[in-house]
Amino acid sequence: MPKTIYDVARQAGVGIATVSRALNNQPNINKSTKEKILRIAGELNYTPHGLARGLARKHTHQIAAVVPFFFNYFFLGLLKNLQYQLTDHNYDLFLYSVDRIDNKETIFDRVLFERKCDGALILSLGIDDLYAKKFLRAKMPVILVDNYHPLLDSISIANIRGAKVAVEHLISQGYKKIALINGSLSSYPARSRLEGYKETLQSHNLVCRPEYVVNATGDMAQDGFNESAGYDAMQNLIALNDERPDAVFVASDVQALGALRAAKEYNIRIPEDIAVIGFDDIDFVKYVGLTTMRQPVQSMAELAVNRLLQRIDKKTSDKFQVELNAELVIRETCGCNKEGFHANQI
């Protein structure tokens, strides 16, 4: 028998009016109480019937975007392109920010039970089997962007391959002692880029030294993909003195900027003392001459929006899981002798 609002209220130890306020995102309710109600409603697979009937009658013409944080440059670029695509289809973007990784299930529950949107784009956030099945049961179209789950549509970057191209490029320039400045291993891109880094060193019979691999453990709100994490990691590598690396692959451009700042403060010349290559190609890194792996943000946005709208309009039921290739952009920080800008498609 389907669960009712009374079942949710009974298990949460509150009245049905409180449950109603939580599910309708009304302001006059304690935050922890609301989170508890949403969690219990999710566990019971409860769906407000009146809201479901209303959604069956018409579209909201809003798309939810669930993002780990708003101030990362990669996400700003991706959100900008998503908004451009949605505007062309007369849809608005409704943003949900996950301020802590351990809080993402609460946000998923809000998206499911508030039902303000016709579909959801989940950016760079892992989703487990329980919540993948919840979205499927709720019949809410959802696309994972920059992540993957076997049950859901996804558009991701070939992170392992991208890392391999970055490290291969450094090896081709004669570097042997190559380090990795990475994000937190709770992040799918960070795990994938670490795998690509290790596999490339192994294929060239180069030792993967533990002290050369710096995985972020600090600011978990950003999975370690921030300037201060890159700064701290580069300090650790510089402190190795005579054993320090001669090149560093950095898992994001923002971290790379922090690494470059640390190098400057310690009078480490880039690329003469340590070569650096990043990942993303955010807008302004060309001004510091950063060699990097360019993510195809525009293509990701186009594919994500087109596929989601097809799901919303019930024009497709096939599974859709795509990996896009990054592109090597050669500038000054890798020590390459080529002048100016050069791009080589993987």
CB count, 10 Å around CB of 202? 11
pLDDT of 290 above 90: yes
Site of tokens 């908004």: 83
pLDDT reading at 147 higher than 90: no
Confidence (pLDDT) at 280: 94
Q: Look at residue 29 in the predicted model and tell me its pLDDT.
A: 84
Report the range out of 53-62, 94-103, 118-127, 329-338 with the highest average pLDDT: 118-127
Least confident of 40-54, 112-126, 166-180, 215-229: 40-54
* Element holding 62 (H helix, E strand): strand 62-67
Q: How many helices (H) and strands (E) does the chain have?
A: 12, 13
pLDDT exceeds cutoff 70 at 39? yes
Residue 299 has pLDDT above 90, yes or no: yes
The pLDDT, as a whole number, for residue 48 is 62
Q: What is the mean pLDDT of the chain?
A: 86
For residue 49, pLDDT beyond 70: no
pLDDT cut 70: percent of the chain above it: 90
Q: Angle at Cα 332 formed by Cα 197 and Cα 212, nearest 5°?
A: 30
Question: In this model, does residue 220 exceed pLDDT 60?
Answer: no
Q: Give all domains of the chain, ordered by start, each with its CATH number.
A: 1-46 (1.10.260.40), 159-295+327-345 (3.40.50.2300)
Continuous H helices in the chain: 5-12, 16-23, 31-43, 49-57, 73-88, 104-114, 129-137, 159-172, 188-203, 227-238, 253-265, 297-312
What's the whole-number mean pLDDT along residues 105-123?
Answer: 88
pLDDT of residue 325: 96
Residue where the block lists tokens 């300090």: 235
Residue 219 is predicted with a pLDDT of: 47
State mean pLDDT over 116-129.
90
Lowest mean pLDDT among 5-9, 49-53, 162-166, 302-306: 49-53
For the record, the structure tokens of 45 come out as 């697979």
pLDDT mean over 19-29: 77
Q: What is the pLDDT of residue 326?
A: 96
Q: Give me the pLDDT at residue 24, please.
A: 72
- Cis-peptide into 271, omega within 30 deg: yes
Share of residues in the chain with pLDDT > 90 (%): 53
Pinpoint the alpha helices (H) of 138-187: 159-172
Residue 88 has pLDDT above 90, yes or no: no
pLDDT recorded at residue 101: 66
**Residue 70 pLDDT class (50, 70, 90 cuts):** low
| Residue 41, pLDDT score | 84
pLDDT at res. 98: 82
pLDDT of residue 273 exceeding 80, the answer is yes
Residues 321/154, Cβ–Cβ less than 8 Å: yes
